[in-house]
Structure 1
Amino acid sequence: MLIKSLISAFSMYSRIPMPHIEWKEENRRYALCFFPFIGAVIGGMLLLWRYIADLLGVGEVLFGAVCTVIPIAVTGGIHLDGFCDVCDAKASYAPREKALEIMSDSHIGAFAAISLGIYLLLECAFFAEVRDFKTMLVIACVFVISRTLSGLAAVTFKCAKKEGALQSFARPAHKNATITVLIIMLILCCGIIVYIDPAAGAGGIIGGLGAFAYYRSFSYKRFGGITGDLAGYFLQVCELVSLICIVIAEKIFMAL
């Protein structure tokens, strides 16, 4: 069952080839426990790229651009899709039900396109500021932390809809086991990044927890709970805010 849950998580939230398994609830019971493993793959690829970039003397712009592409290549853009849908819904200022309908629309609106462009530019720019392998190691852990927080939200936050991609994983989840595993992962990752680099680690934790608090507040107030699109929106915001906080914290520490 654990192997099938891992396959279910990677099949849904990544483009990494996986064996085919039957799509049924018992195969997704522990899938959210393995969700952070996808972040670990992304983090590993980012570290490999940092090593290659240093070896080849790659410039900052190219380095930042490839770092921006790596998470999209691994996930297939599934979380960015949710980010765009939420940006369109936010910009509409429509009532709750109408906003939920807008998020369900597969078309991308002007506000989503603008927000996506700004997001990718900021991510590329801040990645380009990362030159130290130690800082990159902290950033790599952020992709695990964001998914532990997302998984915790999926099984503890109120859902805005009775059906959907999020519910297909949250409803069959073994909640106690999922919460326990994800909290342990979260504590370990936070401890590791603070140990590696106290300044950058503290920045990453502040950014991640700040985004998590905003996610709950915004989702409940605007939509009455979370959805799959909102989960994707949170993941992208969490990773960008954490990256920004890490880079700023590192620069402040270096200036002291």
Structure 2
Amino acid sequence: MLRSLCSTFLMYSRIPVPKVEWKEDNRRYALGFFPLIGAVIGGLLIIWRIVCDYLDIGQNLFSAVAVLLPVLVTGGIHLDGFCDVCDARASYADREKRLEIMADPHIGSFAAIKLCLYLILQAGLFTQVTEADTTAVIACGYVLSRALSALTAVTFNSAKSSGTLQSFVKPSDKKITLVMAGAFITASAASAAVIMPVQGLSAIVTAALVLVWHRYSAYRDFGGITGDLCGWFLQMCEIALLVAAVFTERLCLS
């Protein structure tokens, strides 16, 4: 379990942990621990909100750091997947060509455009997050998105028989991973609903809708999922949860 935990943080974060040997036994439960990285990001976001309130730091700086935190923790690995999928879909090529484009380490113009738009929108939305409770709901979303991503990794069809995702899926204990992912989904969703019932429920429904769209579009365009598609889903889920939390709060206040 501890070696799997270290494998998760070594692969999906830049948080220093003890190095473990890269072998299948050490990745057996790695996907199940994936949501803990979201818990770190969420915790840092809440701490930053508290610091901003205490020091009377303005919303622009709060927003900038809020956008920066996930990138600092993860190294941008999921944004990389988001960019690869954007390039592949923008090509309107056949399925095999799209998979080839996703495997290309270079970024294309369409990905650059969509990445800029994504970060601008994310920063703009965070300028509207002024309450600690709303911040906590969004923090729960970082755990929820990764728990759902782990769930899809072991239950959805794979578009490729090899790749980074498969190096974690193939050796995983699927039953235990599903139990762990289910526990994180339940805990994060319940926490969001308890903290702010309306905003929390809207975030949960939004995450479910993004999940359904992810499965449909991944199967339609690629015949299954890949590591890049999991990254795309995670980014889309997180910004959708942010939209839901912000606009639901505004509707409740109006």
Report the TM range for the smaller structure's normalisation: over 0.9
Show the 5 A alignment for 1:1-256.
2-255=1-254
* Aligned-partner SS, 1:93: coil
Can you list the C-alpha shifts for 1:8-37, whole angstroms capped at 9, x where unaligned?
Answer: 000000000111111000100000111000
**In 1, are the aligned partners of 2:33 and 2:180 still within 8 Å (CA)?**
no
Query: TM-score, with normalisation over the residues of structure 2?
Result: 0.99
Q: Please tell me the residue identity of whatever aligns with 2:180.
A: V
Q: Aligned partners of 1:119 and 1:9: how far apart in 2?
A: 26
Report deviation, 1:184. 1.7
Report deviation, 1:87. 0.3
Can you list the C-alpha shifts for 1:78-98, whole angstroms capped at 9, x where unaligned?
Answer: 000000000000100000000
Can you list the C-alpha shifts for 1:53-86, whole angstroms capped at 9, x where unaligned?
Answer: 1111111111111100000000000000000000
Report deviation, 1:197. 0.3
Q: Please tell me the residue identity of whatever aligns with 2:136.
A: L
Greater shift in the superposed pair: 203-212 or 142-151: 203-212
Q: Aligned partners of 2:176 and 2:189: how far apart in 1?
A: 20
Q: Aligned partners of 1:111 and 1:121: how far apart in 2?
A: 15
* Aligned-partner SS, 2:216: helix
* Aligned-partner SS, 2:243: helix
Report deviation, 1:203. 1.8
**In 2, are the aligned partners of 1:206 and 1:245 still within 8 Å (CA)?**
no
**In 2, are the aligned partners of 1:149 and 1:186 still within 8 Å (CA)?**
yes
Can you list the C-alpha shifts for 1:86-131, whole angstroms capped at 9, x where unaligned?
Answer: 0000100000000000001111110000000000011111111000
Unaligned 5+ residue runs, structure 1? Answer: none
**In 2, are the aligned partners of 1:150 and 1:234 still within 8 Å (CA)?**
yes
Q: Aligned partners of 1:203 and 1:125: how far apart in 2?
A: 20
Q: Aligned partners of 1:229 and 1:186: how far apart in 2?
A: 21
* Aligned-partner SS, 1:108: coil
Query: TM-score, with normalisation over the residues of structure 1?
Result: 0.98
Number of residue equivalences: 254
What CA RMSD, in Å, does the superposition of the two structures yield over aligned residues? 0.7
Unaligned 5+ residue runs, structure 2? Answer: none
**In 2, are the aligned partners of 1:206 and 1:242 still within 8 Å (CA)?**
no
Identity of aligned residues (%): 52
Q: Aligned partners of 2:160 and 2:66: how far apart in 1?
A: 34
Q: Aligned partners of 2:216 and 2:12: how far apart in 1?
A: 25
Q: Aligned partners of 1:185 and 1:228: how far apart in 2?
A: 20
Q: Aligned partners of 1:156 and 1:219: how far apart in 2?
A: 13
